[in-house]
């Protein structure tokens, strides 16, 4: 037997796979975190890509807006913020003139406890923070994207700021191609209608993980972010342990694309064959905070499982499904063709997750190991369930056969596998 430990919430669970079935684990390349993360952030700020230094752009008396990720992301916001604040303070910018905006997109607001966890006590005690509300009446219209005609409304504090800064991390995203960069404007601080118009393009065949060229979701996001006149970004790439590997600062597009190159080096993994069974973890908290977020790991697992194969998704989901529209579309439509039709007719954010899940279920059996009630998971989301990972594995062997070959993805939300030779 081969024992493989997989992240599950704040802990780990172990799956036992017979050696004769085990193809191996698919994991990101090993990369050491920098010994001094603060020094690496300062280096990036001193060596901006395609831009003047932040302390050359900022001026005393300016109103400054800084967008950071919400609680569904694991970007090291506190680590990025402190050097940025120091650089702003060095040219006379007062803390009172800075507002930190949690880029919640369509997600819920950040709780006070989460604010401390994300930013640290020092930042919270010094700087005003707000959670973006995509349905607020205070959003400001800044124009329409030329290529795709998206009417862009954004957070009014960001729109009215004299200096606009984005902080985030860069990793794979299953229809925007990659997270980071422009995504800190769209969807992070955009209105619900803006987000819906953009995300409805996910049906396009180029709207896929790791693809930017020809991806309409990405291209529209970039154009929207340009309309907002972003002045400066700081993006980071972390290793599979969440340690900082490298920081990138400067121009919104140029710094993002440099970070994207490193993501490809670390997280694209090529294997020689597909498996009958793939066991995938969403990567633990916060990647498996709910089913809505955990789906990303499942989406990446689809790249290396055979048609009609079985996927075991390991995701605690302590906050349930995570999105009411996702739940309602699964309840109301429940069939792939009906969901596709509704996306084309009247896309609502959250409906896309129903589309992806039903599409995955069309040619695969999916077993979920989570804390969600079985009746709820089975009846609404049409997933097979197991309370323990090894019970799920035994069921997978019954479905796919005792001689089934198995891949294990411990960090499914962050790993993009591909097959060198199709079989």
Residues 66 and 141 in one domain: yes
Q: What is the pLDDT of residue 422?
A: 53
| Spatial distance between the Cα atoms of 280 and 158, rounded to a whole number of angstroms | 38
47: which residues sit within 8 A by CB, 6+ positions away? Answer: 249
Helix (H) or strand (E) holding 360: helix 351-362
Q: Give me the helices (H) in 35-100, please.
A: 37-46, 54-57, 77-89
Residue 289 and residue 356: Cα distance in Å, rounded?
18
- In tens, the pLDDT along 257-269 reads 999 999 999 999 9
Tokens of 78: 């506190």
In a domain, 263, yes or no: no
Let me know whether 189 and 51 are in one domain.
yes
Residue among 406, 179, 169 at smallest CA distance from 301: 406
Is residue 68 in a domain?
yes
In this structure, are 286 and 344 located in the same domain?
yes
In this structure, what DSSP letter does residue 33 have? P
Buried b (16+ CB within 10 A) or exposed e, 316-341: bbebbbbbebbbbbbeebeebeebee
Count of structural domains, the chain = 2
Indicate whether 201 belongs to any domain. Answer: yes
**What's the CATH code of the domain at 46?**
3.40.50.11440
Are 224 and 279 found together in one domain?
no
CATH of the domain at 315: 3.90.226.30
What is the extent of the structural domain holding 128?
A: 37-238
Q: How many CB atoms lie within 10 A of CB 61?
A: 9
Whether residue 23 sits in one domain with residue 44: no
pLDDT in tens, 154-184: 999 999 999 999 999 999 998 999 999 999 9
Q: Which residues are catalytic?
A: 107, 173
In angstroms, rounded to a whole number, what is the distance separating the alpha carbons of residues 374 and 384? 8
Do the Cβ atoms of 49 and 255 come closer than 8 Å? yes
Which residues of the chain have a pLDDT value below 50?
A: 423
Nearest to 414 by CA among 271, 109, 218, 209: 209
């Amino acid at each position: 037997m081969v024992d493989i430990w997989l992240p599950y919430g704040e802990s780990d669970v172990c799956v036992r796979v017979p050696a004769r079935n085990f193809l191996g684990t698919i994991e990101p390349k090993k990369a050491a975190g920098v010994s001094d993360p603060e020094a690496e952030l300062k280096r990036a700020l001193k060596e901006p890509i395609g831009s003047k230094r932040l302390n050359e752009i900022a001026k005393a008396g300016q109103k400054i807006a800084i967008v950071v990720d919400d609680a569904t992301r694991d970007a090291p916001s506190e680590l990025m913020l402190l050097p940025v604040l120091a650089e702003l303070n060095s040219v006379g910018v007062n803390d009172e003139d800075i507002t930190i905006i949690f880029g919640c997109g369509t997600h819920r607001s950040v709780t006070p406890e989460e604010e401390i966890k994300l930013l640290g006590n020092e930042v919270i005690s010094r700087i005003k923070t707000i959670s973006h509300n995509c349905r607020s009446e205070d959003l400001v219209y800044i124009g329409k994207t030329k290529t795709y005609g998206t009417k862009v409304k954004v957070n009014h504090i960001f729109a009215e700021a004299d200096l606009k800064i984005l902080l985030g991390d860069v990793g794979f995203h299953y229809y925007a191609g990659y997270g980071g960069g422009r995504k800190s404007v769209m969807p992070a601080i955009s209105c619900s209608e803006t987000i819906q118009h953009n995300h409805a393009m996910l049906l396009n065949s180029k709207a896929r993980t790791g693809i930017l060229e020809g991806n309409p979701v990405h291209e529209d996001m970039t154009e929207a972010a340009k309309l907002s006149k972003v002045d400066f970004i700081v993006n980071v790439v972390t290793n599979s342990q969440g340690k900082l590997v490298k920081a990138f600062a400067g121009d919104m597009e140029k710094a993002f694309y440099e970070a994207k190159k490193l993501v490809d080096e670390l997280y694209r993994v090529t294997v020689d064959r597909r498996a009958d069974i793939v066991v995938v973890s969403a990567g633990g908290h916060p990647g498996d905070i709910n089913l809505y977020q955990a789906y990303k790991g499942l989406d990446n697992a689809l790249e290396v499982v055979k048609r009609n194969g079985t996927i075991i998704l390991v995701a605690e989901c302590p906050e349930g499904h995570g999105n009411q529209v996702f739940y309602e579309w699964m309840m109301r439509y429940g069939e792939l063709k009906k969901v596709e039709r509704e996306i084309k007719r009247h896309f609502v954010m959250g409906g896309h997750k129903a589309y992806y899940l039903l599409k995955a279920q069309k040619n695969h059996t999916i077993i979920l190991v989570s804390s969600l009630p079985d009746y709820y998971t089975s009846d609404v989301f049409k997933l097979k369930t197991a309370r323990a990972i090894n019970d799920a594995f035994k069921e997978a062997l019954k479905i796919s056969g005792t001689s089934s070959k198995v891949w294990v993805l411990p960090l499914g939300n962050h790993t993009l596998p591909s097959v060198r030779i199709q079989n």
